[in-house]
Structure 1
Amino acid sequence: MPPSVLRDRKRERTRRALLEAAVELFETRGYEQTTVVDIAAAAEVGTRTFFNYFATKEELLFPETDERVRAAVAAIASRRHGERPVEVLLRGLRAAGDNPGEHLIDDLNDRIAALRAEVSRTVPAVSGRAAHAQLVTQREIAKQLHAAFPAELDEVAAAALVGAVVGAVSGALTVVFQQQTAGVEDGERLQRRIHETTANVLRPWLAAARHQSAS
């Protein structure tokens, strides 16, 4: 096996170990009570190694933002003939939600999402980072949607459509995480609720898109 492949695999294992250690500590001790030194020690690496992977502690709660945006943009770029803007947008958002990347498998992604929602309510740095990440994501997706349908959506209309859909999903999932009184112990149940809630919120949009396509 080439040395470069071995290095990449080692980096992925270390990154995964840091994320797992952080999630476990955040769940048991609390986010603010956990330090970077604690996380590095639990992952059996030094703090210098930690900062090779994450610039700050709050970055651990946003590990896949760029990759999800790329998945959404790729879905928009590969739009099919006859698809309406809403259909393309929803497919892009589903692609982003269903492709958390190679770094996060099993229920770790949902545990991070639950922690992010919980911590955002009490830690301004995380709340600000979450708001900024969502804004950047919405802007990029709206930009791509406008480029895909320039005759139907100007920049304002594209931004409004993306904001409406993303806001609806985000609002619903915030309530789901707030109702998760048992923390994230039942990862499978939380994952089902996330997917079911998202599907329910998006159902009217999908129905409207199908109606437009048929008319």
Structure 2
Amino acid sequence: MSLREIKRARTRQALVSAAVELFERNGYEQTTIADIAAAAEIGTRTFFGYFASKEDLLFPETDGRLRAAVEAIEHRGPHDTPAQVLLRALSLVGAASDDLTGRLGALRLRFIQEIPAVRGRSLQLQLDMQQELARRLAAAFPGELDVVTAAALVGAFVGAVTSALQALLGDGPAPDPAAVQRAVERATAVALRPWLAHDVRQAGAGNV
């Protein structure tokens, strides 16, 4: 990364950290963009060079998670299956950041339940991600998936992650994000078991 990119990344993280502190202390509705910018020591106009809205502060790693999943698809091994690729992407995301499993993840889940604007933004981002992943998977595995089965697989994957996080973080952040990540990966493997079992059967049939 260039020096300019490093500075931008630091400022972006400062905005997210400031927002989390203010949201937890004062509440979402009571915290303004001006408050967050001031806490991060930047101007309010500069804020919009990093985030389009206050809601987007709660989803800072969404693009990164999509990139990780796309990279897992593009760099799949010759014997990797669609379900295995998705599980690997989840593991890579967890290793790179605790955005899903830590303090911000718990705060985001709470606001999704309580605040319509945050819920709406979450649903839109989730829908966009599911559609893009399904499209990429169907293109990567044309002999195994069509657009419908790819959408079903991705829907099961995203639903498992979301439901597991709600169960684990619904009452607030867990003390160990790494433990939450491991639990989410186990839950997702359970949800994808039919596809994983199908993969095993297909591999066995190919060896007969």
With normalisation by structure 1, the TM-score equals 0.84
Deviates more, 1:83-92 or 1:132-141: 83-92
Q: Corresponding residue for 2:181?
A: 195
CA contact (8 A) 2:135 2:150 kept: yes
Unaligned runs of 5+ in 2: none
Offset at residue 164 of structure 1 (A): 1.0
Offset at residue 190 of structure 1 (A): 4.2
1:114-155 residue CA offsets vs partner (Å, 9 max, x unmatched): 111110111111101101111111111111111111111110
Given the superposition, is the C-alpha separation of residues 9 and 192 from structure 1 closer, same or farther in structure 2, using an over 3 Å criterion? Answer: closer
Distance 1:134 1:192 in 2: 23
Q: Corresponding residue for 1:103?
A: none
Offset at residue 61 of structure 1 (A): 0.5
Offset at residue 75 of structure 1 (A): 0.5
Given the superposition, is the C-alpha separation of residues 23 and 131 from structure 1 closer, same or farther in structure 2, using an over 3 Å criterion? Answer: same
Q: Corresponding residue for 1:17?
A: 14
Q: Corresponding residue for 1:59?
A: 56
Question: Which among 40, 43, 48 is matched to residue 45 of structure 2?
Answer: 48
Distance 2:30 2:42 in 1: 19
Amino acid of the structure 1 residue aligned with 2:106: A
CA contact (8 A) 2:22 2:31 kept: yes
Deviates more, 1:195-204 or 1:108-117: 108-117
Distance 1:107 1:169 in 2: 13
Given the superposition, is the C-alpha separation of residues 92 and 5 from structure 1 closer, same or farther in structure 2, using an over 3 Å criterion? Answer: closer
Unaligned runs of 5+ in 1: 101-105
Give % identity. Answer: 51
Cα RMSD over matched residues?
2.3
Offset at residue 209 of structure 1 (A): 6.3
CA contact (8 A) 1:73 1:144 kept: yes
With normalisation by structure 2, the TM-score equals 0.86
Amino acid of the structure 2 residue aligned with 1:69: L
